[in-house]
Amino acid sequence: MSTPRKWTLDKLVEEASKYGTLKDFRLGSEGAYKAYLTQGKPKEVSDHLDCGRTIWTEYTARLEAKKYSRRWDFQRGSGGAYRFLWKSGALDEIFDPITNYVWDEESVRLAALGLLDRRSFKAKFPGAYKFAYNNSLLESLFGVTLNTPKCDNDLVYLWRPFGYKNVYKVGITSKRLGSERVNYVSNKSGLGVAEVFFIEAKDAKALESKILGDNQPYGFFPKFSGSTEFRVIPKLEDYLEGVVE
């Protein structure tokens, strides 16, 4: 096992001399930078380092962008250069246009930064909005819509994945939300929805517990989030009273 390097003042000065800015020093030599902070930021180490704000040009911003394969990594890693190229309209020349972008949770959250509400988010990034809606991210991005409860818990859903017979995911949602919860859960599991039933109930939690308790779990391997709520239900008709469209 290698031992941690001991950073003396002379060694810190030598290491820092390899860099032109404090940011480059921090990113390029994490151990030395931590030692620099621990030792009280000695001036001998940082006197030559530029601690000021970088003034970006078209050339330097494009050069910075070449370090990244995705525009959202670029935004996170070098926000100043990103904003310079965004204002100049050059981002689509360097990265895939947003209209053709394959969204994930990280890029959606980055896209939502600085936007005030769902409406402006949808107008500016419709693809990101669709991903956020289908994966129940809108509430964490913009809060709960006024006068709209998060969930009424008045429906039990049963959905069968493609390629499986008599195997159903059992859960609770709201009539008001329609298939939003089913879409979210199926996307998380990676299983497509072959058919789905919504059962209206005064006590949806009790009905969910009954269905889960009456039927054998289906043993997915490897397990994934939500896999323990799948059941083998040979007599589905026993539970379909109160089905809603």
Q: Do residues 64 and 129 both lie within one domain? A: yes
User: What is the pLDDT averaged over residues 31-53?
Assistant: 77
Strand partners, 65: none
For residue 150, tell me if it sits in a domain.
Answer: no
For residue 148, tell me if it sits in a domain.
Answer: no
For residue 202, tell me if it sits in a domain.
Answer: yes
Q: Do residues 165 and 221 both lie within one domain? A: yes
Q: Do residues 21 and 76 both lie within one domain? A: no
Q: Do residues 25 and 84 both lie within one domain? A: no
Which is nearest to 171 in space by CA: 244, 241, 226, 240? 226
User: What is the pLDDT averaged over residues 79-105?
Assistant: 79
Which is nearest to 28 in space by CA: 43, 10, 49? 49
Q: Do residues 137 and 165 both lie within one domain? A: no
Residues 55 and 2: their CA atoms lie apart, in Å, by 40
Burial group, residue 233, by CB count within 10 angstroms (0-12, 13-18, 19+): buried
Report the amino acid identity of residue 88: S
DSSP assignments along 109-165, one per residue = HHHHTT--SHHHHHHH-HHHHHHHHHTT-HHHHH-PPTT--S----EEEEEEETT-S
- Of 56 and 230, the structure prediction assigns the larger pLDDT to 230
Asked which of 115, 142, 169 is the last residue of a domain, the reply is 142
What token pair was written down for 75?
């935004």
Q: Do residues 233 and 161 both lie within one domain? A: yes
Q: Residue 190: left if φ>0, alpha if ψ -120 to 50, beta else—which one?
A: left
Which is nearest to 177 in space by CA: 195, 200, 150, 201? 150
Q: Do residues 190 and 120 both lie within one domain? A: no
Q: Do residues 159 and 184 both lie within one domain? A: yes
Q: Do residues 41 and 81 both lie within one domain? A: no
Q: Do residues 160 and 209 both lie within one domain? A: yes
For residue 3, tell me if it sits in a domain.
Answer: no
Q: How far is CA 58 from CA 76, 151, 199, in A?
A: 19, 49, 58
Q: Do residues 234 and 164 both lie within one domain? A: yes
In this prediction, residue 168 carries a pLDDT of 95
DSSP assignments along 92-107, one per residue = HHHS--GGG----HHH
For residue 4, tell me if it sits in a domain.
Answer: no
In this prediction, residue 148 carries a pLDDT of 43
Q: Do residues 85 and 106 both lie within one domain? A: yes
What token pair was written down for 72?
């959202």
For residue 239, tell me if it sits in a domain.
Answer: yes
Number of domains in the chain: 3
Residues 82 and 59: their CA atoms lie apart, in Å, by 13
Asked which of 91, 114, 142 is the last residue of a domain, the reply is 142
Q: Is the pLDDT of residue 1 over 60?
A: no
Give the domain extent around 25. 9-46
Q: Is the pLDDT of residue 160 over 90?
A: yes
Tens digits of residue pLDDT in 133-149: 888 888 878 765 544 44
For residue 35, tell me if it sits in a domain.
Answer: yes
For residue 51, tell me if it sits in a domain.
Answer: no
Tens digits of residue pLDDT in 185-222: 777 777 888 999 999 988 888 999 999 999 999 988 77
